[in-house]
Amino acid sequence: MRKIIKNNKREKILIYSIIRNRAENIQRYHVQLKKIVKALPEYDFYLSIYENDSDDNTKIELFNKDWSFFKGVAIVSENIDTEYYGSVKDAQRVENLAKARNKAIELGGFLNNMDYVLMVEGDVIYTTDDVKRLLDFKNTEPKFDIVSSISLRKNKTHYDWWATRTSAKYNPDRSEIEDDYEQKEYGKYYSTSNGLCLYRAKPFQDGIRHHWINKVTKEFDCEMVVLCQNFQKAGYKNIYILYTSQAYHI
Q: Give the pLDDT confidence score for residue 7 in this predicted structure.
A: 52
Sign of the dihedral defined by the CA atoms of residues 215, 220, 226, 227, in that order:
positive
Q: Give the pLDDT confidence score for residue 8 in this predicted structure.
A: 65
Q: How far is CA 15 from CA 4, 168, 243, in A?
A: 33, 27, 21
Residue type, 187: G
In sequence order, which residues have a C-beta less than 8 Å from that of residue 169 and are 6 or more positions away? 216, 217
Positions of the chain with pLDDT lower than 70, given as ranges: 1-8
Q: Give the pLDDT confidence score for residue 4 in this predicted structure.
A: 41
3-state secondary structure of 61: helix
Closest CA to 108 of 151, 72, 144, 136: 72
pTM of the model: 0.95
pLDDT digits (tens, 9 = 90+) for 55-69: 999 999 999 999 999
pLDDT digits (tens, 9 = 90+) for 87-120: 889 999 999 999 999 999 999 999 999 999 999 9
